[in-house]
A and B are shown apart, each in its own frame.
Chain A
Amino acid sequence: MDKWLQELEPIVVHQELKVPYRYSMGAAASKFFIEMRDQKRILGIRCPKCSVVFVPPRSSCGRCFSPLEEWVEVSDRGTLQTYTIVHYPTAVQPIPPPFIYGVIKLDGADTGLGHLVSETNFESLRIGMRVQAVFKEERAGNMLDIKYFKPI
């Protein structure tokens, strides 16, 4: 083998790509987060045509495209529809693994909300279990103002 290959020290280049983000949440999401931040209330929005209550709320119905204006309050309690346990660390995660991602259908909502589930061991998780939102004391106006959902 060539001498240079024998003496070679393979290099692994480590880089940290930093991507600054700045995005406008929009009218519907802004109202949702402001209500959570200031009042600890969770809002949904109802479609006038198909009566679906979307949580988180959006400006137009995903099924019939009607403009959405009817705000409703939904409960901070709901049912765990599905979950997964994350073990693998990646760069963009809300908390370090292992942690539980769940889809929670809050009472009064017709759509599921993706969020963290905690205060439980992995073995006790059951689809259909009742959970409740645990809010942070200091809230900033984003989805992590809910720390996680805990079993009730």
Chain B
Amino acid sequence: MSEKGGSLLVAEFEANFPYDYSAGRFASYFFKQLKDKKQITGIRCPKCQRVFVPPRPACGYCFVGNTEWVPLGDEGTLWAYTIVQFPFLDPMTGQERPIPYGYGYIELEGASTRLQHFVTASDLNKLRIGMRMKAVFREERKGDLADILYFKAIEK
């Protein structure tokens, strides 16, 4: 704790909240494929055939168990995006994210749902809905969603 001088004190400190959570069976499989094979995997509902990514145990429409794992590519379409100007804190480090940065929804080839992640292009102002995006992976993957660093626009 550090307090500034003067007659009005200001306390500055960093509270640390470590937490562990169990990813669950389906997320664990998803992260393992991501870590070992750089593979993004969706899961298919046996009834309506929708492919969910990130995967979930049951279909949100049919309420039946999802059964079939579907390897998806690492390319998709930018469905929506925003350019963030406010330096939100990265919860892993407590530090402000460098701004501006892009964040969007990517519809991967073969998936029925969209994946949220950071998006970028050679210039953020070039981002457009409908652009083709490709996942950029971390070199040393750990088995979490940050193994995908961001999706980058495929530009000519």
Per the CB 8 Å criterion, the residue count for chain B at the interface is 36
With a cutoff of 8 Å between Cβ atoms, the chain B residues found around residue A140 in the complex are 1-3
Which of B21, B22, B93, B144 contacts A18, CB < 8 Å? Answer: B93
Is there a chain A Cβ closer than 8 Å to B11's Cβ? yes
Which of B9, B19, B29, B93 contacts A25, CB < 8 Å? Answer: B9
Of A5-13, A40-48, A63-71, A74-82, the stretch lying at the interface with chain B is A5-13
Residue of B nearest to A92 (CB): B15
Which of B25, B29, B91 contacts A15, CB < 8 Å? Answer: B91
Q: Count chain A CB atoms within 10 A of each CB in B22, B23, B29, B31 and give the residue with the most.
A: B29
Query: What per-residue 1/0 map shows which CB atoms of B1-44 lie under 8 Å from chain A?
Result: 11100011111111111111111110111011000000000000
Query: Is A30 a contact of B9 with CB atoms below 8 Å?
Result: yes
Q: A4-B29, A19-B94, A142-B3 are in contact. Are A14 and B18 (CB under 8 A)?
A: yes
Q: A16-B16, A16-B18, A141-B3 are in contact. Are A33 and B9 (CB under 8 A)?
A: yes
Which of A13, A21, A24 contacts B23, CB < 8 Å? Answer: A13
Is there a chain A Cβ closer than 8 Å to B92's Cβ? yes
Q: A21-B15, A140-B3 are in contact. Are A11 and B27 (CB under 8 A)?
A: yes
Query: Is A142 a contact of B16 with CB atoms below 8 Å?
Result: no
Query: Is A11 a contact of B143 with CB atoms below 8 Å?
Result: yes
User: How many Å lie between the Cα of A23 and that of B3 in the bound state?
Assistant: 10
Is there a chain B Cβ closer than 8 Å to A144's Cβ? yes
With a cutoff of 8 Å between Cβ atoms, the chain B residues found around residue A19 in the complex are 14-17, 94
With a cutoff of 8 Å between Cβ atoms, the chain B residues found around residue A87 in the complex are none
What number of A-B contacts does a CB cutoff of 8 Å give?
Answer: 117
Query: Is B9 a contact of A141 with CB atoms below 8 Å?
Result: yes
With a cutoff of 8 Å between Cβ atoms, the chain A residues found around residue B15 in the complex are 18-19, 21, 91-92
Query: Is A8 a contact of B29 with CB atoms below 8 Å?
Result: yes
User: How many Å lie between the Cα of A140 and that of B11 in the bound state?
Assistant: 10
- For the complex formed, measure the closest distance between the CB of A11 and the CB atoms of chain B, giving whole angstroms: 4
Which of B2, B20, B92 contacts A12, CB < 8 Å? Answer: B20
Within A94-142, the residues touching B (CB, 8 Å) are 140-142
With a cutoff of 8 Å between Cβ atoms, the chain A residues found around residue B99 in the complex are none
With a cutoff of 8 Å between Cβ atoms, the chain B residues found around residue A20 in the complex are 12-14, 89, 94
Q: Supply 9 A–B pairs (Cβ within 8 Å), ascending by A.
A: A11-B22, A12-B20, A13-B21, A22-B12, A31-B7, A91-B18, A92-B15, A141-B3, A142-B3
